[in-house]
Amino acid sequence: MVKTAVSSQSPLWGLTLPSVVEIINGMKRPLPILLFIGVLLLGGCRSEPVDNPSVTPVSTRTPELHDTQSRSRDGMIMVYVPAGEFEMGDNGEERARPVHTVTVNAFWIDQTEITNAMFTEFLNEEGNQVEEGVSWLEPGAGHRGIVYGHIEENDGAFRSSVNYEDYPVVEVSWYGAAAYCSWAGGRLPTEAEWEYAARGSHSLQYPWGNTFDGTRLNYCDVNCTYDWRDTAFNDGAAMWTSVGSYPDGASWCGALDMAGNVWEWAEDWWSEDYYAASPTDNPQGASSGTLHVARGGSWFDERVGTTTFRRAVLTPSSYRMHWVGFRCVVPAHS
């Protein structure tokens, strides 16, 4: 994208149109002079790139790995995940068996989890609706009666608590997460899409590699108050924290917080036997069920709960959990 600017070095810079006309009228051979002036004016214009001219806008070329774009509805930065094949699952994890080969089409995935600020904008436009007897969000309430969500409702208006705008939204039902993604122009990721964005074609154990590093994610470390806390690492947070706080934990495609901080809803219904019969191309999960899958682990979990293949199984109404959030995807052809 370029913008055109008239150079201040042009000989006619600063002359008004009447001044130019007077010059022309006062000359005996106005036509050649007029042509000469036209050349000067054209020569005095130059193209100034707004951005790096070597970077072709994504909209005019095929996207590539590490490309990003901003979603217009909520301003979320999305990272590009090219189509590919990987080994999904883990034979050492009961719910992740068996390992099976999967291919996925290209898509864009949110760089981080959806924040309180984004979700309150959605609620203020759409209201806090009820699906299947479950509200999208339970504002001002939380696990054991404590206000964890940091979203409050007053006279029908929703707002995030001060200084918590960039925290991931929690206390959100699967229905609320799915509705938000639809509102934003996308959908929840399938398990296959989520896992591929997290571990890539090398099927890594963690987004950054196969060796655990407690400084690259927010999990139950030395700051955690639970019995299973890991005193070997200090990640700097006792509970969930601002999205994107651990850039060194980025996955191969540039997605952040794919391990820890909060669990993330997936599109798929849970089926115990689905992996054994999973199709190879773009698996969508079971066609129906009573439980949905969440991925990624959270600040509440020990290290084994933050692997790229770990699956949590939750009821769609499990919104009274301060360790469950979500992110969205948009197919690359959209």
**pTM of the full predicted structure?**
0.80
Are residues 328 and 186 in contact, defined by beta-carbon separation less than 8 angstroms?
yes
- 57 within domain boundaries: no
241, part of any domain = yes
In-domain check, residue 84: yes
More confident: 103 or 29 = 103
Q: How much is the pLDDT for 148?
A: 53
Look at residue 210 and tell me if it is in a domain: yes
Q: How many residues does the chain have?
A: 334
- Cis amide leading into 279 (omega within 30): no
* 208, 77: one domain: yes
Q: How far apart (Å, rounded) are the C-alpha atoms in residues 216 and 303?
A: 11
Residues 266/292, Cβ–Cβ less than 8 Å: yes
Per-residue pLDDT tens over the stretch 207-223: 999 999 999 999 999 99
H or E stretch at 274: helix 274-277
Assess whether 40 and 69 both reside in one domain: no
Residue type (1 letter), 47: S
Mean pLDDT check: name the lowest of 197-206, 264-273, 314-323. Answer: 314-323
- Asked if 304 and 207 sit in the same domain, the reply is yes
> Is 188 inside any structural domain?
yes
SS3 at position 168: strand
Instruction: Give a yes or no: residue 54 inside a domain.
Output: no
Same domain, 74 and 28: no
Q: What is the pLDDT of residue 58?
A: 54
Residue with tokens 């994107």: 244
Write down the pLDDT at residue 141: 53
Residues 23 and 162 in one domain: no
Give the structural domain span for 288.
Answer: 62-118+126-331
144 with 192, same domain?
yes
Report pLDDT digits (tens) over 55-85. Answer: 344 556 889 999 999 999 999 999 999 999 9
CA pair distance 261, 329, nearest whole angstrom = 19
* Residue 52 predicted with pLDDT over 50: no
CB of 149 within 8 A of CB of 137? yes
**Residues 173 and 133 placed together within one structural domain of the fold:** yes
Asked if residue 144 belongs to a domain, the reply is yes
Model confidence at 21: pLDDT above 70: no
Higher pLDDT, 252 or 52: 252
* Same-domain check for residues 73 and 200: yes
The answer on 96 and 203 residing in a single domain is yes
Report the candidate in 181, 142, 186 with the shortest Cα–Cα distance to residue 161. 142
pLDDT given at position 134: 86
| CATH number of the domain where residue 78 is located | 3.90.1580.10
Regarding whether 320 and 172 lie in a shared domain, the answer is: yes
**CA separation for the pair 45, 3 (Å, rounded):** 10
The domain tally of the chain equals: 2
**Which residue in 104, 301, 107 sits closest to 192, CA to CA?**
104
- Mean pLDDT within 34-58: 38
Question: pLDDT per residue over 154-178, tens digit each?
Answer: 888 899 988 999 999 998 999 999 9
Residues 114 and 42 in one domain: no
List the structure tokens of 209: 């590699």
The answer to whether position 55 is within a domain reads: no
Same domain, 43 and 67: no
